[in-house]
Structure 1
Amino acid sequence: MNFSGNIWKLYAIRFFHSLIPAYVIERLFWEQRGMTIQMVVYTEIIYAVTVVLLELPSGILADKWSRKHMMTISAWFMCCFFLILTFASGFWHFAAAVFLAGIGRSASSGAENALLYDSLLLDGKEHSFEKVLGRINVCDFTSAILAALCGSLLASRFGFELNYWISLAATLVSLCLSFMLVEPSVTSGAGEPAQIRHSVITSVRFFRNNAGVCLVVLSGMVTGAALNFIYEFWQLYLNRLDIPVIYFGLFSAAFMSLGIPGNMLAPMLIGRFSSRTLLSGVTAVFTAGFLYIWAVHDYTGLAAIFAIGLVSGIVEPVTTGYLHHRIDSSMRATMDSFQSLGLNAAHTVIGLGFGFFSTRYDIFGGYGFIALVCGLFFIYFLIASKSSVNK
């Protein structure tokens, strides 16, 4: 059977999954409904804890049961997420919606990459994984850019709520497309009991015996968590600089478009530079960029944000490809879920510090804390990766 049809379906699913005009005004919408920065951080922690608790069980289910079905479940919960948010008026409404989003995120995190890799594997094209993943991410960015540009215009004319209805419609399309996926018939122990304890022990043993993989995945966790705080709070940052809402879409589109070159060039860069060189360079830019955002409270801080966005695009293809080329299909979704689990664990821990400093020193103080975290990890990565991280 030819599984190449899964590839274009994954492109389409990611396109509609990211066609979310609500994101461009999300923080302002939440603030309008009474959500403070600290409350938002609490919901982020609820989201991250939910994902951490469900990542491994969902990854194991994807490996032992069905990757397609897990992606369908994910799309269903995202529909529920936007439906609740449209009518949300208090903290617990937002908390409930975020909890459902966490379930949806954990259901698809390992399943999507596993389905992609094994679809390519069965067609003898697994060597192009980084290229295809990068292009799917570009499709993701393109859709998000379109949503951001349209979303800011719609919000300035019709208010914030319409954006949430459009976002709900897009997720419904994504749900319908997920039913069209074909399950890859890999030898992965399908039908065997999903023994969580055994899978966890096997995964932990793999990372313990592969220090280089562990360190590369860890770098993706730290930089990914740091980047999330730009995606989640840039609207408040622009608001503090007195930038009108009508320009939010342009900023969002510009920032996301900067991630496209990295995703497209990642396969070429991997061939010319070591993973250690690429990831240490990215971490250095993150550290310098967040330091500048913390220290300088004017429009030039936008240049630092753009620099972070420019280098961030290479991280996922490098780290995810480094992992998937070294694992077996029988544990592919589970191991990928470990990566997502770590990302959300890092997001939870860093989020506590971010919320603490943001409450006392506004959003600038929060970004100063992120700079400290990135700087400390940069030093650690340089020392620890000398002998463990290769091409």
Structure 2
Amino acid sequence: MKSVSNVWKLYGFRFFYSLIPAYVIERLYWEERGMTIQMVIYAEIIFAVTVLLFEVPSGILADRWGRKRLIVVSAALGVCEFFLLLFATSFWHFALVVFLAAIGMSASSGAENALLYDSLLLKKRERSYEKYYGRLNALEIVATMLAALSGSWLAVQFGFTFNYWLSFVAMWGAVFFAFWLKEPAVKTKTEESESMPLKGYVAAFVRLYKQHPNVIPVLTSGMVVGASVNFIDEFWQLYLDRLQIPILFFGMFSAALYFLKLPGNLLAYQLKKRVATPRLLLFIMSGIVFGLFIMAVSPNIYGLLAMGLVYLVAGMIEPLTSGYLQHRISSNVRATMGSVQSMGENAVIMLAGLGFGYWSSKGDIFGGYGFLAVLCGVFLMYYVWRQKAVRS
């Protein structure tokens, strides 16, 4: 029963980890303290490079040392992150924050999914992974919505800094639930996983690709879509600001965006029973390309509606791609392979960030989203070609 209790403890961890009212005014807070769009892009690149360096080592460490310990490290670094942000006044302060945040995200990215899957595996419920993963994401969205709705009002009433103090306190709640988790007694504790050399992980990935050739295009689609949605998450506040929408409505708009991700997370496991994951991803990416294009060329209500469309279809991407991977790997490399997936997405963020920053400097935020529309459109053509090659 201890392994099953991990599910609701992970719910608690994810809820407090996402109950961050600072995010709803984050870009404005950073801008107030001297961070331009280009500086934010540089910070994003620092974040992505750090993730690239730490993702796979942290995944290997989680498989050998224990997933719970890495999740605790992630939560503890979150506490440090918000404490530093309270006093950040220069680019290098923010650079240190994103560096710590990247290490924290790397520590939990593969470990959290691996702990969830193996906790279900011990009770023979692993086929329901997408359902529980979707619910985990749904709870994260609910917490984000609550933080956004309250955060915009609190920022107007008490100032931006107050939101960061509340976020600092919420992160301590994540630390509490992280310490309460139990390590599943699975193959990750065997001598095989503890003594596996680095080349063993490479061989495991090569073997996975040979046995399941669709893994690469499926995972890559999740990386590209995830990277594109990341830039909406990071800069929607500036998009609304350019449309002269008052800050008071930011929380309501943020909550509406995240609400649109709920159906996809909750229903993805049902949809994949009727439509194969690779085909579902084709529809998702088509919706992403269309939405980003409208956002770029229509700086008005149609652009906002298109942003909503992107969030609606993107809600399915994480349960589908994560489940597709988890069902095809063994427990002794589960966290490592999850980290490889996260590392790939951050590599795309780093590379796409260069184009996004350049075109944002040329055509403001609308130029940046136009670049993302082209990027996703090119990948969509590759994905269609790759699917035909796999079937032939």
TM-score of the superposed pair, with normalisation by structure 2:
0.97
Partner of 1:230: 232
Identity in percent: 52
Deviations 1:116-136 (A, max 9, x none): 000000011111100000001
Instruction: Please tell me the residue identity of whatever aligns with 1:241.
Output: L
1:372 equivalent among 368, 371, 374: 374
1:158-173, aligned counterparts within 5 Å? 158-173=158-173
1:71-90, aligned counterparts within 5 Å? 71-90=71-90
Tell me, in whole angstroms, the C-alpha distance in 1 between the residues paired with 2:83 and 2:108: 19
Partner of 1:156: 156
Partner of 1:299: 301
Q: For residue 298 of structure 1, report the CA deviation from its aligned partner.
A: 1.3
Tell me, in whole angstroms, the C-alpha distance in 1 between the residues paired with 2:209 and 2:78: 31
Partner of 2:8: 8
The answer to whether the 8 A contact 2:59-2:336 is kept is yes
Instruction: Please tell me the residue identity of whatever aligns with 1:324.
Output: Q
Tell me, in whole angstroms, the C-alpha distance in 1 between the residues paired with 2:295 and 2:367: 9
Partner of 2:256: 254
Partner of 2:63: 63
Is the counterpart of residue 329 in structure 1 residue 331 in structure 2? yes
Deviations 1:258-294 (A, max 9, x none): 0000011101100111112210111111111111111
Partner of 1:38: 38
Is the counterpart of residue 267 in structure 1 residue 273 in structure 2? no
Deviations 1:17-70 (A, max 9, x none): 000000000000000000000000000010011111111000001111100000
Tell me, in whole angstroms, the C-alpha distance in 1 between the residues paired with 2:117 and 2:391: 22
Q: How many residues were matched structurally?
A: 390
Tell me, in whole angstroms, the C-alpha distance in 2 between the residues paired with 1:356 and 1:85: 26
Tell me, in whole angstroms, the C-alpha distance in 1 between the residues paired with 2:100 and 2:389: 42
Partner of 1:107: 107
Instruction: Please tell me the residue identity of whatever aligns with 1:280.
Output: L
Partner of 1:220: 222
Tell me, in whole angstroms, the C-alpha distance in 2 between the residues paired with 1:69 and 1:2: 16
Deviates more, 1:206-215 or 1:266-275: 206-215
Q: For residue 211 of structure 1, report the CA deviation from its aligned partner.
A: 2.0
Instruction: Please tell me the residue identity of whatever aligns with 2:319.
Output: P
Deviations 1:87-107 (A, max 9, x none): 100000000000000000000
Deviations 1:295-339 (A, max 9, x none): 111122100000001011111111111111111111100111110
Report the RMSD for the aligned CA atoms in angstroms: 1.4
Query: Structure 2: any 5+ residue segments left out of the alignment?
Result: none
1:274-285, aligned counterparts within 5 Å? 274-285=276-287
1:113-262, aligned counterparts within 5 Å? 113-190=113-190, 192-193=194-195, 195-207=197-209, 209-262=211-264
Tell me, in whole angstroms, the C-alpha distance in 2 between the residues paired with 1:247 and 1:276: 37
Higher helix share: 2
Tell me, in whole angstroms, the C-alpha distance in 1 between the residues paired with 2:49 and 2:197: 22
TM-score of the superposed pair, with normalisation by structure 1:
0.97
Q: For residue 389 of structure 1, report the CA deviation from its aligned partner.
A: 7.4
Partner of 1:287: 289
Query: Structure 1: any 5+ residue segments left out of the alignment?
Result: none
Tell me, in whole angstroms, the C-alpha distance in 1 between the residues paired with 2:198 and 2:37: 36
Q: For residue 194 of structure 1, report the CA deviation from its aligned partner.
A: 6.0
Question: 3-state DSSP class of the match of 1:88?
Answer: coil
Q: For residue 198 of structure 1, report the CA deviation from its aligned partner.
A: 3.1
Partner of 2:311: 309
Instruction: Please tell me the residue identity of whatever aligns with 1:323.
Output: L
The answer to whether the 8 A contact 1:258-1:313 is kept is yes
Instruction: Please tell me the residue identity of whatever aligns with 1:229.
Output: F
Deviations 1:348-388 (A, max 9, x none): 00011000111111000000000000100111111101353
